[in-house]
Amino acid sequence: QKEVEQDPGPLSVPEGAIVSLNCTYSNSAFQYFMWYRQYSRKGPELLMYTYSSGNKEDGRFTAQVDKSSKYISLFIRDSQPSDSATYLCVVNDSTLTFGKGTMLLVS
Amino acid sequence: DTGVSQDPRHKITKRGQNVTFRCDPISEHNRLYWYRQTLGQGPEFLTYFQNEAQLEKSRLLSDRFSAERPKGSFSTLEIQRTEQGDSAMYLCASSLVKDQPQHFGDGTRLSIL
């Protein structure tokens, strides 16, 4: 079992939709959780950084961590075409462990 | 803060040649990381430095790979005797200290002919 699992998509939504991206992880010892966004031919860009369980909001983005179920979510409100990218779910032990990423297409 | 800079952006080479990539981290970031990313996959950890000390290497880092960070500033990643399977994007990231967010460069894309 991979340490971080994500549905690769692509996920296609109309502009203005609410997007829900999810992933699961296997090691209950993980404490730090992140979402990175990656545009084509670019490096990953940090979107959200959370410690332990709970919610964190930043503008149109909300990250949610449920450590009891080992489930991580990212919600994007009022999605825009510029949100079209691959979203990487990441856990932090001593180094970062990435999921495969979910490709989002907003049109 | 000029961000993490990587050079070159794209390297094309023949199988069996040696290649070297450079990474300039965000100034004053003590930690520097190297990752490899292949198509359709998330980045995979290769190695990291705390200042000039290389503290951890992944099993992905075969003996053909070597990384250095002289004086704790920029870092180089060298691949000797390149193979087709080395074709990938090589990403560098830096962070201020342990457990702080890592900031990535735009990577060096390696293509092996």
Does the pLDDT at position A94 exceed 80?
no
For residue A9, the tally of other CB atoms under 10 A from its CB is 15
Verify whether the Cβ–Cβ distance A98 to B4 is below 8 Å. Answer: no
Distance from CA of A98 to the nearest CA of B (A): 5
Evaluate whether B8 touches B108 at the Cβ level (below 8 Å): yes
Three-class secondary structure of residue A96 per DSSP: strand
Mutation test of the interface with chain B: which of A50, A96, A102, A103, choosing the one with the most B Cβ atoms within 10 A? A96
What secondary structure letter does DSSP report for A84? -
Q: What is the DSSP string of chain B?
A: ----EEE-SEEEE-TT--EEEEEE--TT--EEEEEEE-TTS--EEEEEEETTEEEEE-TT--TTEEEE-GGGS-EEEEE-S--GGG-EEEEEEEESSTTSPPEE---EEEEE-
Write out pLDDT tens, residues A23-56.
999 988 888 999 999 999 999 999 999 988 889 9
The tens place of each residue's pLDDT in chain B, 113 residues long, gives: 579 999 999 999 999 999 999 999 999 899 999 999 999 999 999 999 999 999 999 998 999 999 999 988 999 999 999 999 999 999 999 999 888 899 999 999 999 99
Does the pLDDT at position A18 exceed 90?
yes
Distance from CA of B17 to the nearest CA of A (A): 24
Write out pLDDT tens, residues A49-93.
998 888 999 999 999 999 999 999 999 999 999 999 999 999 987
Write out pLDDT tens, residues B61-74.
999 999 999 988 99
Nearest CA in chain B to A90: B42
Verify whether the Cβ–Cβ distance B45 to A46 is below 8 Å. Answer: no
Nearest CA in chain B to A6: B42
